[in-house]
Structure 1
Amino acid sequence: MLVQLGGLLRAYHDAAATFPWAGREWLFEPRQPVETVCHNELFPWNTVFRSGVPVGFIDWDTAAPGPRAWDLGFAAWRWVPFFRDEKCRAIGLPTGIAEKARRFRLLLDAYGLEPDIGIVYAGIERTRELLEHMSKAADDGSAWEVELARRGLLDEGGA
């Protein structure tokens, strides 16, 4: 699945890199360096699957110009995943640094990049910004984010 995801994301980023983004309005400010239009919410539930394989993305309301690492880092956070091992065990996902590093390499190899700690840092920053955005929405009374906060999902980046 990570191989298919990496290839799909690369194909999307390559196509979106040709999109004339300047002078348009975006929900999020463009992030430098602009290399493509990032999806910004590469959650599994924003992914279309066919026979268990990712084949497309949906939910484009937060797309905005930015660096490829912005989406790649967030995809790694969610799909490798880079959650704490306790959380991974609780939801039946792989644990351990070696296994997560192997899965990260699968994603990046399929995308066509060498492993780079900068991608991990971008994922951390993207996750931090998402949690801040969702926490503010919860504080403002948005029902979806209030429910996520009630369930503790905004406390650890697992939203």
Structure 2
Amino acid sequence: MTEQPLAGGHQTAEVVRVGDTVRRARDPGSAFAAQVLAHLEAAGYPYAPRHLGIDERGRDVLDFIPGTTTDHPSQRAPGAYALGGRMLRDLHAATAGHPLAGARECVIHGDPGPFNTIFREGLPVAFIDWSSCRPGDRMDDLGYLAWTWCVQAEGQVPIADQAAHLRELRDGYGDVSPERLVEAMIGRQEHIIEAETARLRTRDLPPRRRRHAEAAIAWATADRALVLRHRAMLLQ
């Protein structure tokens, strides 16, 4: 069957669509991700693709979820932020206390930005790209989701709208204070800045990966400055 290339982000060497499936080059997180997806399917979690095995070329096979990703609030419908929060909360609830979570709170997606979320008619329907999932703390996942979905230094989104989106997402997830969520967002921004700055010091870093690191630092730095500048409004 015809292979249709799909956007594979900055880490995945190959992602293609073949019929109703997606084929992804395997990476160090693939085996664990397959276990997590199998558990989520068994638990009835509806917001993730099914892992269907490994093809003859050694690639992961997942079911294809129709829809698009988003990069601006104008592409999202009313209720999208609350639903995104519930989707993440349900993931954490489905894995809390499970052996896959080890000694941590739960399994986290690890990269649940809108660029890794499929939307249909402006509403989120599934998280994709599970190669970063791992045992972790729910606030790390929620802080990253809140930042990447709600905070934008670019894109000409009024800060009042960003604050409203953040409140909606927080209410959708539930059981988290405004202060704790804002601190979690700042924590994720600082983690990106520190990690990518350290990566830039790596000798022989490929040019494409160097450009990604530089862009990630600029993005996180600008968004952190916005959060700090408008912290009072974001805490409402």
Query: Which TM class, normalised by the smaller chain length?
Result: 0.7 to 0.9
The worse-fitting range, judged by mean Cα deviation, of 136-145 and 11-20 is 136-145
Residue by residue over 1:107-144, the C-alpha shift from the partner in whole angstroms, topping out at 9 and shown as x without a partner, is: 01111235421111112112211232233334431444
Q: Are residues 119 and 156 of structure 1, via their aligned partners in 2, closer, same or farther at CA, if it must alter by over 3 Å?
A: same
Structure 1 counterpart of 2:93: 14
1:147 equivalent to 2:211? Answer yes
- Cross-structure match for 1:116: 178
Amino acid at match of 1:41: D
3-state DSSP class of the match of 1:130? helix
Structure 2 unaligned blocks of 5 or more: 1-79, 224-236
- The aligned amino acid for 2:82 is V
AA in 1 matched with 2:95? A
**TM-score of the aligned structures, taking structure 2 as reference length:** 0.52
- So what's the TM-score if we normalise by structure 1? 0.73
Residue aligning to 2:143: 73
Structure 2 CA distance for partners of 1:142 and 1:58, relative to 1, 3 Å:
farther
The structure richer in strand per residue is 2
Q: How many residues align?
A: 140
Q: Is the 8 A contact 2:107 2:136 kept in 1?
A: yes
Which of structures 1 and 2 has the bigger CA Rg?
2
Q: Which has the higher contact order (CA 8 A, sep 6+)?
A: 1
Q: Is the 8 A contact 2:84 2:124 kept in 1?
A: yes
Contact 1:139 1:146 (8 Å CA) reproduced: no
Distance change (3 Å), C-alpha of 1:100 and 1:115: farther
How many angstroms does 1:35 deviate by?
2.1
Unaligned runs of 5+ in 1: 24-33
